[in-house]
Amino acid sequence: MKKINYTVLMLVLLVSNLLYAQKVELIYTTASERWVKPKKFLKKKVSESKVDITVYTDSVLQKVDGIGGAFNELGWEAIQRLDDKGAKEVIKALFSKDGCNFSMCRIPIGASDYALSYYSHDDVPGDFVMRDFNIDRDKYILIPYLKAALKNRPDLKIWASPWTPPAWMKVNEHYSLRAGDWNDRSNGNRMNPGAQILSNATAFKMQDQYLKAYALYFSKFIKAYKKEGIDLFSIQPQNEIAYAPNWPSCTWRAEDFSLFIGEYLGPQLENDGLDTEIWLGTINYSNPNYVRTILDNKKSAKYIKGVGFQWGGSKAIPTIHKEYPDLQYMQTENKCGEGENDWTAFDRSWETLVHFFNNGAGSHMYWNMVLDETGKSAWGWPQNSMVVIDKVTKNVTYTDEFYLFKHLSHFLQPGDHYLKSSKGKNHLAFQLKDGRVMLLVNNPDKTNKNLNFKIGEQLFEIEVQALSINSLIINK
């Protein structure tokens, strides 16, 4: 009788463990092991008193709008060094359901610091009616890059922002605001030092004809892209609004930017029947008063649907999110790095992810998705990327940050929600639309660690690898 009871008990435990194991899936990545799906990882059920991380499945927070990165000319140039098969594999790794599954990305309006050279979409001085406006250059570089992505992800949401207006619309009539090299980089611009604008004063010519022309410039850009089959869901009218570097840029005083949005840009898009949203951004100013000034102006606030904060504005988002809870929020650009492309870059991006999701952001953008082996901009600054393509050897490297974002965006899609969880800087929790919970866990320690979880009513223990990022999927 005892033998029969023991056999029955073992069968019950076996079935119970099998059913339990099916409820939790784990994928992890370390610097040496990529996207590993272990079969045995659950340790045991634990008591509630030993829980390390709790996810409150009944406390649903902000909606997720999208995860992705930026399209830039130098990225497409690197991809074009590969043969057709290799190029398609890189695009698939970023945009397919088997890859990062990116759902939202960014494009520049005119030259960014990762363009091949200076340009805008109307470089004819005094063309206030935008007769010579065109996107001809984009048709050969950015648009093929975009369309390659859209083949893998047809519903990819795309937003756009300029680094600078056409040079003739600016006070110093130059694409940049600062002369010379930058931090000993040898490819700075050679503008006249007397033309510099370094005080965060408005660099745009605040005359009516220029403001009207610039609003028309945005409208024509949206329409031109739509004609190419690419809808822009939003624009942010100025990249890094409080920065005067050696590359394309334009600073604006808050009062002037508010005037442009409320009395020129908003009415222009409205009168043209365009449904592309206007977001305030990209904000890299740490003092929340800058954003307050614009959002408290009824004329500009009427048109603003969200606020995009670059990492330089991270100190402002907690305050602004609390004061304006009905707006949407975005992290527009992670920290660029210095081309190290190692786990230290991973750590910085992880810190940014946690900070912005914990302060209301519903979308999160990486900067350059793809660069060549130098990582250098046309102005000589080497930066990080998710994918590194060696233009000589044709070797393709997927960096640590690529896998960080894959662990997030492979599962997390528009319409999912951020979930409240216990305090801590090494986890993020999300409610997926199908009812599953996705938990992202970072182990920054150099040793394996056993962690105890409570997800709703489920209790379990998992061993996570040293220096690893882990995606846990908890089924219904």
| Cis status, amide bond into 282, omega within 30 of 0 | yes
Give all strands (DSSP E) within 343-411, no chain letters: 363-368, 370-372, 387-389, 396-398
Tens of each residue's pLDDT in the chain, 476 residues: 555 555 444 443 444 444 444 589 999 999 999 999 998 888 877 777 789 999 999 999 999 999 999 999 999 999 999 999 999 999 999 999 999 999 999 999 999 999 999 999 999 999 999 999 999 999 999 999 999 999 999 999 999 999 999 999 999 999 999 999 888 787 888 899 999 999 889 999 999 999 999 999 999 999 999 999 999 999 999 999 999 999 999 999 999 999 999 999 999 999 999 999 999 999 999 999 999 999 999 999 999 999 999 999 999 999 999 999 999 999 999 999 999 999 999 999 999 999 999 999 999 999 999 999 999 998 889 999 999 999 999 999 999 999 999 999 999 999 999 999 999 999 999 999 999 999 999 999 999 999 999 999 899 999 999 999 999 999 97
Torsion of CA 302, 307, 313, 314, to 10 degrees: 130
437 alpha-carbon distance from chain centroid = 22
Backbone angles phi, psi at 325, to 5 degrees: -70, -15
Q: What is the pLDDT of residue 8?
A: 42
Q: What is the pLDDT of residue 199?
A: 86
β-strand partners of 462: 42, 451
145: enclosing H helix or E strand: helix 142-152
Cβ pair 339, 368 in contact under 8 A: no
Q: What is the pLDDT of residue 184?
A: 78
Q: Is the backbone of residue 280 left (phi > 0), alpha (psi -120 to 50) or beta?
A: beta
438: enclosing H helix or E strand: strand 437-443
- Give which of 427, 410, 407 is closest to 418, Cα–Cα: 427
Cα–Cα distance between 437 and 431 in angstroms, integer?
5
Cβ pair 81, 372 in contact under 8 A: yes
Q: What is the pLDDT of residue 5?
A: 52
Q: What residues have CB less than 8 Å from 327, skipping those under 6 apart? A: 295, 304, 305, 306, 307
Q: CA-CA distances (angstroms) from residue 227 to 70, 103, 221?
A: 21, 22, 10
